[in-house]
A and B are shown apart, each in its own frame.
Chain A
Amino acid sequence: GENVEQHPSTLSVQEGDSAVIKCTYSDSASNYFPWYKQELGKGPQLIIDIRSNVGEKKDQRIAVTLNKTAKHFSLHITETQPEDSAVYFCAASEGGGGADGLTFGKGTHLIIQP
């Protein structure tokens, strides 16, 4: 099955700086890679996703890059703000509506220092 590794487990950056979270996956059949943001005591919120036919996707301050050859993808947050503080999870799946859902990374606790 799929195995998703996520690094770092904790990331502290100064407000206004950029943050990068990296994930690798093992199953070359995976073709859908979402990122979720989870605030304390709440469910994960989908913030951006990318499919394997695209190398990069951007949405305002958030961007995701995908290197299918190397089987890794990254989340980039620019001009970080205090409200960006949360736990971020990457995930991978083969998509296509399969019943297996997603395989999640272990999460990155992002701390934005004022």
Chain B
Amino acid sequence: GAVVSQHPSRVICKSGTSVKIECRSLDFQATTMFWYRQFPKQSLMLMATSNEGSKATYEQGVEKDKFLINHASLTLSTLTVTSAHPEDSSFYICSARDLGQGNEKLFFGSGTQLSVL
């Protein structure tokens, strides 16, 4: 299957700092990427849809000024958690569609465990 690379895999930061997470499609182009958040022993919660060259679409209840998304190229989307607080600690996962394998197939990155002290 297609490869989606996500970095970093783990980050620990102080409260009030900003953290950037990168999501890259390595062997395909992705006009659309998705960002999810996952709490322990729970399902994936869609946060936002990242569209190359345009503004991201955020799900209800997700603060767009808190979670900044940039999708500047067909292979890279970034999620920046601004002014992070302990309640932002979570597992963040990106995904991308490989249109070459059909519109529906969604491939995930390896996830980023964010811990805010």
Q: How would you classify the secondary structure of chain B's contact residues: helix, strand, loop or mixed?
A: strand
A72 CB within 8 Å of chain B: no
B111 and A41: CB pair below 8 A? yes
Residues of A at the B interface (CB closer than 8 Å) are 32, 34, 36, 41-46, 49, 51, 89, 93, 95-97, 99-102, 104-107, 109
Using a CB-CB cutoff of 8 Å, which residues 30-62 of chain B contact chain A? 32, 34, 41-44, 46, 49, 51, 57
B28 to chain A, nearest CB (A): 14
B43 and A34: CB pair below 8 A? no
B106 and A43: CB pair below 8 A? no
User: What are the residues of chain B within 8 A of A42 when measuring CB–CB?
Assistant: 110-111
Q: How would you classify the secondary structure of chain A's contact residues: helix, strand, loop or mixed?
A: loop
B100 CB within 8 Å of chain A: no
A105 and B105 contact, Cβ closer than 8 Å, known pairs A41-B111, A42-B111, A99-B51: no
Q: How extensive is the interface on chain B, given as a class?
A: 20 to 34
A104 and B43: CB pair below 8 A? yes
A99 and B57 contact, Cβ closer than 8 Å, known pairs A42-B111, A43-B6, A89-B44: yes
A101 and B111: CB pair below 8 A? no
Residue of B nearest to A97 (CB): B103
Residue of A nearest to B109 (CB): A43
Q: Interface code B79-117, partner A: CB below 8 Å = 1, 0 otherwise? A: 000000000000101010101000111111111010000
